[in-house]
């Protein structure tokens, strides 16, 4: 799929050095499937207007974000306005702008969460193993941030006697170590980073950003559903879900940014429905950046933690991404050893 960066580069470089702008039609001619010759003898061709309208909408959004400037209105055809690209030097932080363009921030904004999910479906992986206390099969979620590093909730690792991170083909990732925050109570600072020896597939690394109240967000994780293998469920915060692949994905909003009397850390609450197995999953904003990590489901006022009754509304409690960066700078490294096909912390 052609990206916003491809569109920006086209209008920035100009197809003809003697022209100071280019038309959208000229760009569309570079898109496979846009135009097709129907009669070579008469020189007739047809164009795919749905493709034209799709890219016209993206260009209009780029214009709203000051990536493009329209210098000539479209003709009656509607899909041939002329644009020039705003040079990177006109942005307050040119280097950051280029990084966002390369990462795909504008593609995620313009194309929505379905596109985001498709880009990162291999970047969110399940953690499977045996529960340290019950001995039952248990699982959590982790996500990739580059440099062979996967982020998860600390209890997803500490709570397991042994574990694996599984690739989409169910093969285990070769692991090296797990990092916790040095000098912190893991019941409070519930984050961990698992370092792999290599990443056996081409997966996109998430960038990290701060959360903001009323951000639209997407969560992707692996809940345990009795009787089913690992499945992907995509749902909004208010509508029942449909089965689609291997992970659990939900759409919601950040509704509060609060602190807890039980914790010295900041955290935030999202309305996307989460359950056991979502722990460690990323909270992704509309720019495709991770703004937090799900680590807990609240208990309701009737059951409380002693009664074991989770909040039936399914709100998720999340740690902001700033704590991932803090963990990397202040890490306590525990080596992992392979035993019987699974990994465990070196005693």
Q: Which of 92, 111, 130 is the last residue of a domain?
A: 111
Q: Are residues 55 and 175 in the same domain?
A: no
- Between CA 153 and CA 155 the distance in angstroms is 6
Q: Evaluate if pTM is beyond 0.95.
A: no
Task: For strands 192-196 and 233-236, give the pairing.
Answer: unpaired
Q: Are residues 266 and 213 in the same domain?
A: yes
Q: Are residues 272 and 253 in the same domain?
A: yes
DSSP state string for 48-113:
-HHHHHHHHHHHHHHHHTTSEEEEE---TTSS--EEEEPPGGGSSSHHHHHHHHHHTHHHHHHH-H
Q: Are residues 49 and 188 in the same domain?
A: no
Q: What is the length of the chain?
A: 347
Greater model confidence, 45 or 203:
203
Confidence (pLDDT) at 276: 67
Q: Are residues 274 and 188 in the same domain?
A: yes
Q: What is the pLDDT confidence band of residue 240, given thresholds at 50, 70 and 90? A: very low
Q: Are residues 233 and 281 in the same domain?
A: yes
Q: Are residues 125 and 220 in the same domain?
A: yes
Could you say which DSSP state residue 114 is in? Answer: H
Q: Are residues 128 and 261 in the same domain?
A: yes
Confidence (pLDDT) at 266: 84
Per-residue pLDDT of 298-346, as tens digits, reads 544 444 444 444 445 567 788 899 999 999 999 999 999 998 899 999 8
Nearest to 223 by CA among 204, 247, 244: 247
Greater model confidence, 275 or 44:
275
CATH number at residue 51: 1.10.10
Q: Is residue 292 part of a domain?
A: yes
Q: Are residues 76 and 127 in the same domain?
A: no
Lowest mean pLDDT among 177-191, 233-247, 278-292: 233-247
CB 223 within 8 A of CB 278: yes
Q: Which of 82, 111, 140 is the last residue of a domain?
A: 111
Q: Where are the alpha helices (DSSP H) in 290-342?
A: 304-307, 322-329
Please give the C-alpha separations between residue 346 and each of 176, 189, 191, 306, 333, in angstroms, as whole numbers. 11, 22, 19, 33, 11
Please give the C-alpha separations between residue 95 and each of 87, 91, 101, 154, 218, in angstroms, as whole numbers. 12, 9, 10, 34, 27
Q: What is the pLDDT confidence band of residue 38, given thresholds at 50, 70 and 90? A: very low
CA 49, 54, 57, 58 torsion-angle sign: negative
- Between CA 315 and CA 319 the distance in angstroms is 13
CB 267 within 8 A of CB 317: yes
Per-residue pLDDT of 187-216, as tens digits, reads 889 999 999 998 877 899 999 999 888 788
- Between CA 117 and CA 124 the distance in angstroms is 10
- State mean pLDDT over 241-257: 49
> Which residues constitute the domain of residue 54?
4-111
Q: Is residue 85 part of a domain?
A: yes
Task: For strands 233-236 and 248-259, give the pairing.
Answer: parallel
Q: Which of 111, 134, 159 is the last residue of a domain?
A: 111
Q: Which residue do the tokens 């909730």 mark?
A: 153
Q: Are residues 23 and 84 in the same domain?
A: yes
CB 59 within 8 A of CB 68: yes
Distance of CA 163 to the CA centre of its chain: 23
Q: Is residue 104 part of a domain?
A: yes
The structural domain count of the chain equals: 2
CATH number at residue 319: 2.40.10.120
Confidence (pLDDT) at 316: 77
């Amino acid at each position: 799929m052609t990206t916003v960066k491809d569109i920006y580069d086209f209008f920035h470089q100009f197809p003809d050095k003697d022209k100071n702008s280019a038309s959208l039609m000229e760009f569309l001619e570079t898109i496979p499937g846009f135009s097709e010759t129907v009669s070579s003898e008469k020189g007739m061709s047809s164009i795919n207007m749905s493709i034209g309208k799709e890219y016209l909408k993206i260009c209009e959004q780029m214009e709203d974000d000051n990536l493009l400037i329209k210098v000539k209105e479209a003709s009656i055809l509607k899909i041939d306005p002329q644009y020039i690209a705003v040079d990177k030097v006109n942005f307050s932080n040119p280097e950051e702008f280029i990084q966002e363009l390369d990462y795909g921030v504008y593609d995620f904004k313009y194309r929505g969460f379905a596109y985001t999910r498709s880009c990162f479906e291999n970047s969110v992986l399940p953690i499977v193993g045996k529960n340290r206390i019950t001995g039952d099969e248990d699982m959590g979620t982790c996500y990739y941030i580059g440099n062979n590093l996967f982020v998860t909730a600390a209890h997803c690792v500490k709570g397991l006697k042994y574990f694996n991170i599984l690739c989409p083909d169910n093969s285990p990732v070769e692991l090296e170590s797990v990092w916790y925050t040095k000098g912190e109570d893991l019941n409070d600072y519930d984050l961990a980073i698992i370092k792999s020896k290599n990443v056996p597939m081409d997966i996109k690394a998430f960038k990290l950003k701060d959360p903001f109240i009323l951000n639209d967000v997407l969560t992707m994780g692996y809940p345990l559903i009795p009787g089913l293998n690992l499945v992907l469920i995509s749902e909004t915060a208010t509508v029942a879900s449909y089965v689609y692949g291997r992970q659990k994905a939900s759409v919601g909003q950040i509704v509060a940014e609060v602190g807890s009397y039980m914790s010295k850390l900041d955290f935030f609450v999202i309305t996307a429905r989460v359950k056991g197995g979502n722990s460690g999953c990323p909270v992704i904003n509309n720019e495709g950046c991770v703004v937090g990590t799900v680590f807990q489901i609240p208990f309701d006022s009737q059951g409380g933690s002693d009664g074991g009754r989770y909040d039936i509304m399914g709100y998720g409690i999340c740690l902001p991404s700033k704590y991932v960066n803090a963990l990397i700078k202040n890490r306590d490294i525990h080596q992992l050893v392979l035993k019987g096909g699974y990994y465990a912390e070196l005693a």
